[in-house]
Amino acid sequence: MSYDKIEVPEGGAKVSYDEAADELDVPDTPIIPIIHGDGIGKDVGPIAQDVLSAAAEATGHDIEWMEVYAGESAREMYDENLPEETVEAIREHRVAIKGPLTTPVGAGFRSLNVALRQTLDLYANVRPTYYLDGVPSPMKAPEEMDMVTFRENTEDVYAGIEWEAGTDEAEQVRSFVEDEMDFDDVMHDGDIGIGLKPISEKGSKRLVREAIDYAIENDRDTVTLVHKGNIMKFTEGQFGDWGMEVAEEEYPDDEVFAAPDSLWEEQDEVDIPEDAVMVEERLADAMLQWMQLRTDEFDVLAMPNLNGDYLSDAAGAQIGGLGIAPGANFGAGRCLAEPVHGSAPKRAGQDKANPTALILSGRLLFEYIGWDDASTLVRDAVEDTIESGTVTYDLARQRDDAEEVSSTTYAEAVIDRIEDLA
């Protein structure tokens, strides 16, 4: 496909996908689209790109980066926030990485990030949360955190079906609920805003399936389905029911064990097959405390969209904050890696922001395309650099033994460490 404003590198080739085999075909030199992002994205995007290129080269790989545009950069070039050719470039090339984006008020999208996920059907937001030596943390034992959250990406309240209080549409919905469904006891007097919360069998099952497959492939012991099904029985509750159906019906008993409700209600002893992944359910409110009190008991969490937003951020706080928290969005043969943090416009252009989250998000992209050697090298180099005390301002202000450096200098130190370790 030809593009209007996107320059396609002459070297390299597209990543392709064999749907029948569910396998990527990764060329020797893949073309990878990158959105540097808004705010601090303009600072951390290019230098994270340099770090990832260095890790790829050090492990015998090569990348041709293709810059594509969304947010502020797109408004300057296209006079719109999310150009169609940006979406098509990511769709066509299968794997991509982006920095943080800011959605202007009244711009037509609730969130550019959400728009990309929904448009490309990137249904699983995946966030590994693990501790790096040298990162200040409020927890006594942050090293116990080694958890991966799978957050459903396309449904729940983020589907954006809601009506503003005082509008004709809101009154029509209220009238229907009151008159046709006899639910007047839940409708308060006066103006109310109303929202719908769609959660589907298809969306729930494919998310849980992705989480279970990840657990099997990465030797994880448990997958925990997190929801508030005791209150929202036909949305969150059904997410749990559908997820347990996947565990019970789609995998051999010696590979996946679906834990009965009595496991936690009555503390029953159960016979779990050796090496099987146990799939269990927990309520979302309780899970927020169990993540802190029994951190090391959880491996992979799978949950609806809003719960996943809360819980993944809470997990990130335990290992030092969102400035070091990576993420990626998975679909059928697609990956869009992105950091968890926002665009922090007040820090833009100062060469101060921490690029670690974006760098580690690139590590997830490497894993997705099978470059495990480059992925491991990125993590080791980042951890060694932080542990040595060469850090950006956000970490330096919490350590007495650290040297505060610019974003650029920090990235250069990581690249030096990559070269030392390779």
Q: Which two tokens stand for residue 48?
A: 């994270």
Ramachandran area for residue 278 (φ above 0: left; ψ -120 to 50: alpha; else beta): beta
Distance from the Cα of residue 70 to its chain's centroid: 18
127 assigned binding-site residue: yes
Residue 324 DSSP label: G
Q: Is 102 annotated as ligand-binding?
A: yes
From the list 123, 130, 158, 214, the catalytic residue is: 158
Residue 404, CA distances (Å) to 85, 250, 341, 356 in order: 40, 51, 20, 14
Read off the pLDDT band of 264 (50, 70, 90).
low
State the pLDDT confidence band at 268, using cuts at 50, 70 and 90: low
**Placement of tokens 């490309």 in the chain:** 120
pLDDT-based confidence at residue 1 (cuts at 50, 70, 90): low
Higher-confidence residue: 231 or 111?
231
According to the model, what pLDDT value does residue 178 have? 78
pLDDT of residue 417: 98
Task: Reply yes or no on whether 28 is catalytic.
Answer: no
| Whole-number pLDDT of residue 107 | 46
pLDDT the model gives residue 332: 94
pTM of the predicted protein model:
0.92
Residue 255 has pLDDT above 80, yes or no: yes
Whether 140 is catalytic: no
Q: Has 113 been labeled as part of a binding site? A: yes
Mean pLDDT of the region 39-67: 97
262, pLDDT greater than 70? no
Instruction: Name the strand (E) or helix (H) holding 380.
Output: helix 372-388
Confirm or deny that 393 is annotated as ligand binding. Answer: yes
Among 304, 298, 261, 307, smallest CA distance to 277 is for 298
Lowest mean pLDDT among 12-21, 210-219, 253-262: 253-262
Q: Which of 99, 40, 98 is nearest to 350 (CA)?
A: 40
Residue 180 has pLDDT above 80, yes or no: no
By the 8 A CB rule, do 332 and 18 touch? no
Q: Which element (helix H / strand E) includes 173?
A: helix 168-175
Confidence of residue 322 (pLDDT cuts 50, 70, 90): confident
> Which pLDDT value is given to residue 302?
98
User: Environment class of residue 314 by beta-carbon count within 10 Å: exposed (0-12), middle (13-18) or buried (19+)?
Assistant: middle
Cα separation, 288 vs 285, whole angstroms: 6
What pLDDT shows up at residue 85? 96
Is 117 annotated in a binding site? The answer is: yes
Which of the residues 156, 299, 309, 394 is marked catalytic? 309
With 60 as the cut, is the pLDDT of residue 56 above it? yes
Confidence of residue 106 (pLDDT cuts 50, 70, 90): low
**Per-residue model confidence as pLDDT tens digits over 394-414:** 999 999 999 999 999 999 999
Convert the pLDDT of each residue in 191-243 to its tens digit.
888 889 999 999 999 999 999 999 999 999 999 999 999 999 999 999 999 99
372 a catalytic residue: no
Alpha helices in 234-371 (DSSP H): 236-249, 262-265, 284-293, 305-318, 356-368
**What is the residue whose two structure tokens read 């030199």?**
29
Nearest alpha carbon to residue 399 among 409, 389, 408, 407:
389
Question: Which of 241-245, 322-326, 379-383, 413-417 is least confident?
Answer: 322-326
228 counts as catalytic: yes
Give the per-residue SS3 of 337-378.
Answer: ECCCCCCCHHHCCCCCCCCHHHHHHHHHHHHHCCCHHHHHHH
Statement: residue 328 has pLDDT above 80: yes
CATH level 3 topology of 1-137+319-422? Isopropylmalate Dehydrogenase (3.40.718)
Least confident span in 13-17, 160-164, 235-239, 412-416? 160-164
Residue 86 marked as a ligand binder: no
Mean pLDDT of all residues in the chain? 92
- Reference 126, options 300, 348, 323; nearest CA is 300
Residues 302, 336 contacting (CB under 8 angstroms): no
Task: Give the count of beta carbons closer than 10 Å to the beta carbon of residue 263.
Answer: 15
Largest CA distance in the chain: 71
- Asked if residue 97 lies in contact with residue 336, where contact means CB atoms within 8 angstroms, the answer is yes
Q: Which one is catalytic: 285, 296, 372, 420?
A: 285
Any known ligand binding at 75? no
Cα–Cα nearest to 379, from 26, 55, 41, 40: 55
B/e letters for 141-164, b = 16+ CB within 10 Å, e = fewer, are ebebbebbbbbbbbbbbbbeeebe
